[in-house]
């Protein structure tokens, strides 16, 4: 009996250790981020900064400016980073993320490499995440979301991109087991690229897509070099009459404007484009984010604000969080932060985003 009791005691102790080990493993379960509803892309801080000096990077955006974003109602930031800019400045980047999070905003960390050809040089992106993931491990996993890559291209090679993204997801997961990882499709992260993607089995991921349709309106056909952009700024949204696009005698510009108007772009057409991604997400029961949308400040205000509102309302109607591109880019607020300043956010843009300007007055 004594021997049996001793064996039983040993068994109980071992069972307790096993149970404790299971509990410890359960404690490392995924940390769901707070709802990502209204976001802003910080486009230049660690991508095209005025200076790469760590001291200058540290002061690019002040706490007063960050407080202004939170007061306006933004609950997350998508932080664009050029790997070459943050190389050797990891401490400055982590400090910046901590400051953003201290203001109650989650942070998507999104690599925007300049002049990389990831399709043919995949190792650079793999090395980037092997170095970056341990740095992000120092941060709150509920507020820190690594995004594999901004706007992967991989033309006509959705499978090639999916294979690389899967590999990087596994690499990130080994270091950041609790983080929500942001994934996307090829073809510049478009809705078309997203719907060509097979979802991962990992339950703690978020799928992102970008929306700038129609580019003739939002970027004033930046993809064309033979048109009169000074005329295209008068493009209407919504389109009511074909004659609204009779704005230029220049043949290429006239033809492009007429093409745009022939498609009768309006809020329902915008919603249909967003619903393409939303339907895919519902089909696969996955979470979805509109990671970027915006329209040039050069576009006439009526069309620009109406388009921004249409995208925002279509996203919210489908329970899709969104992030404007961007705080410091011409497709968004077009701000140029100054040391110590808290720039005022355009109240008309805030209104189009369903947000109030009352709480974001400039603090002298």
What pLDDT is attached to residue 7?
35
pLDDT per 10-residue tile (average), the chain, 364 residues: 37 34 41 85 95 90 94 97 88 96 98 95 97 96 98 97 98 97 98 98 97 98 94 96 85 94 96 98 98 98 98 98 97 86 91 75 37
Residue 18 belongs to some domain of the structure: no
Same domain, 233 and 302: no
What pLDDT is attached to residue 363?
36
Same domain, 278 and 344: yes
Point out the domain boundary residue: 232, 264, 296.
Answer: 264
What pLDDT is attached to residue 340?
64
Same domain, 255 and 120: no
In whole angstroms, what is the distance from residue 294 CA to residue 211 CA?
A: 8
Helix axes 158-175, 123-136, angle to 10 degrees: 30
Residue 58 belongs to some domain of the structure: yes
Residue 210 belongs to some domain of the structure: yes
Residue 328 belongs to some domain of the structure: yes
Residue located via tokens 């002298």: 364
Residue 14 belongs to some domain of the structure: no
Distances (CA, A) of 305 to 18, 176, 293, 315, 348: 59, 39, 12, 15, 7
Q: What are phi and psi of 225, to 5 degrees?
A: -115, 10
What pLDDT is attached to residue 341?
74
What pLDDT is attached to residue 31?
67
Same domain, 87 and 206: yes
DSSP E strands: which ranges in the chain?
Answer: 38-46, 76-81, 106-111, 144-146, 181-184, 205-211, 288-293, 321-324
Same domain, 338 and 232: no
Same domain, 257 and 182: no
What pLDDT is attached to residue 247?
84
What pLDDT is attached to residue 343?
87
- Total count of domains within the chain: 2
89 — alpha (psi -120 to 50), left (phi > 0) or beta?
A: alpha
Is the full-model pTM beyond 0.75? yes
Residue 361 belongs to some domain of the structure: no
Residue 122 belongs to some domain of the structure: yes
Same domain, 235 and 129: no
Residue 9 belongs to some domain of the structure: no
Same domain, 244 and 134: no
What pLDDT is attached to residue 242?
79
Nearest to 164 by CA among 114, 111, 90, 211: 111
Same domain, 150 and 193: yes
Point out the domain boundary residue: 235, 264, 293.
Answer: 264
What pLDDT is attached to residue 296?
98
CATH number reported for the structural domain that contains residue 103 in this entry: 3.20.20.80
How many CB atoms within 10 Å of residue 142? 16
Domain that holds residue 153: 34-214+266-352
In whole angstroms, what is the distance from residue 125 CA to residue 317 CA?
A: 35
Same domain, 173 and 41: yes
**Cα four-point dihedral sign 236, 265, 42, 97:** positive
Same domain, 193 and 342: yes
Same domain, 186 and 240: no
């Amino acid at each position: 009996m004594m021997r049996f009791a001793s064996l039983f005691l040993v068994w109980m102790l071992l069972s307790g250790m096993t149970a404790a080990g299971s509990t410890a493993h359960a404690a490392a379960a995924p940390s769901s981020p707070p709802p990502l509803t209204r976001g802003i892309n910080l486009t230049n801080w660690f991508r095209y900064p005025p200076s790469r000096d760590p001291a200058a990077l540290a002061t690019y955006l002040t706490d007063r400016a960050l407080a202004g974003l939170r007061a306006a109602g933004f609950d997350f930031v998508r932080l664009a980073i050029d790997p070459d800019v943050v190389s050797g400045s990891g401490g400055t980047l982590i400090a910046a993320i901590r400051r953003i999070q201290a203001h109650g905003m989650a942070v998507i960390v999104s690599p925007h490499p300049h002049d990389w050809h990831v399709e043919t040089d995949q190792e650079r992106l793999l090395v980037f995440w092997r170095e970056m993931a341990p740095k992000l491990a120092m941060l709150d996993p509920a507020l820190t979301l690594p995004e594999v890559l901004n706007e992967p291209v991989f033309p006509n090679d959705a499978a090639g991109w999916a294979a690389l993204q899967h590999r990087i997801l596994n690499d990130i997961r080994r270091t950041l087991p609790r983080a929500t990882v942001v994934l996307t499709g090829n073809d510049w992260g478009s809705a078309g690229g997203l719907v060509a993607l097979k979802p991962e089995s990992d339950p703690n991921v978020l799928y992102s897509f970008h929306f700038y349709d129609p580019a003739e309106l939002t970027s004033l056909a930046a993809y064309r070099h033979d048109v009169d952009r000074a005329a295209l700024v008068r493009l209407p949204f919504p389109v009511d009459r074909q004659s609204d696009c009779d704005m230029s005698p220049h043949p290429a510009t006239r033809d492009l404007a007429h093409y745009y108007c022939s498609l009768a772009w309006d809020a329902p057409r915008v919603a249909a484009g967003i619903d393409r991604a939303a339907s895919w997400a519902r089909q696969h029961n996955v979470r979805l984010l509109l990671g970027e949308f915006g329209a040039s400040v050069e576009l006439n205000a009526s069309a620009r604000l109406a388009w921004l509102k249409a995208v925002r309302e279509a996203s919210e109607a489908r329970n899709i969080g969104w992030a404007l591109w961007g705080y410091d880019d011409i497709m968004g607020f077009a701000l140029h932060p100054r040391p110590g300043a808290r720039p005022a956010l355009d109240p008309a843009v805030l209104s189009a985003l369903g947000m109030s300007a009352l709480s974001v007055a400039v603090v002298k």
